Amino acid sequence: MTDSKEFADARDRMGAWKRDAVLCFQRSLIHHALERESATFTVDIVPDEDRAPGQGIAGCATRILSAASVIEPVLVGSTMAGWAQMERKSERATRNRAKVKVYRITNRGIAVEWLRRNGGYTGAGTCEQSTMEGIA
């Protein structure tokens, strides 16, 4: 999967400006994916308490984790253009059954180590967003 330059630039800007929100989402996603009995998952497994307001955070988070080989897209049947990523209808009421991408953990050990190196997961709603307090 190759990103267009415009998409890559936008993702990198989001990673810089919404780093805490993206990291919180990633921690929750990996934690909940590791807990699941099913090998596959969507971003729907992240509870609302771990979602910051704003758009694009889930996409940015999954793309970065995919680039780091922590998760991978689940691919389905070949099409004329190549393989397509599996999608499911979202079960979140706020998404109105929109299609969401399906992923899987690439390697349990890698995912556990990524989570350890990135602060772990201490429970839903425990991510603290950075503030600008004390900055002149």
What CATH number is attached to the domain comprising 109? 1.10.10
The number of helices, as runs of H, and strands, as runs of E, in the chain is 4, 7
Q: Tokens 């689940």 sit at which residue?
A: 74
pLDDT at 12: 75
Q: What is the pTM of this model?
A: 0.81
In a domain, 105, yes or no: yes
In a domain, 10, yes or no: yes
In a domain, 65, yes or no: yes
In a domain, 136, yes or no: no
pLDDT at 117: 95
In a domain, 126, yes or no: no
In a domain, 42, yes or no: yes
Q: Domain count of the chain?
A: 1
| pLDDT higher than 80, residue 60 | yes
What's the Cα-to-Cα distance from 18 to each of 12, 24, 40, 41, 50, rounded to whole Å? 10, 10, 26, 24, 14
Give the residue, 134 or 60, on which the prediction is more confident: 60
Q: Which domain holds residue 66?
A: 5-117
Extract the tokens encoding 71: 């998760």
Give the residue, 134 or 9, on which the prediction is more confident: 9
In a domain, 129, yes or no: no
In a domain, 127, yes or no: no
Tens-place pLDDT, residues 30-43: 999 999 989 999 99
pLDDT at 29: 97
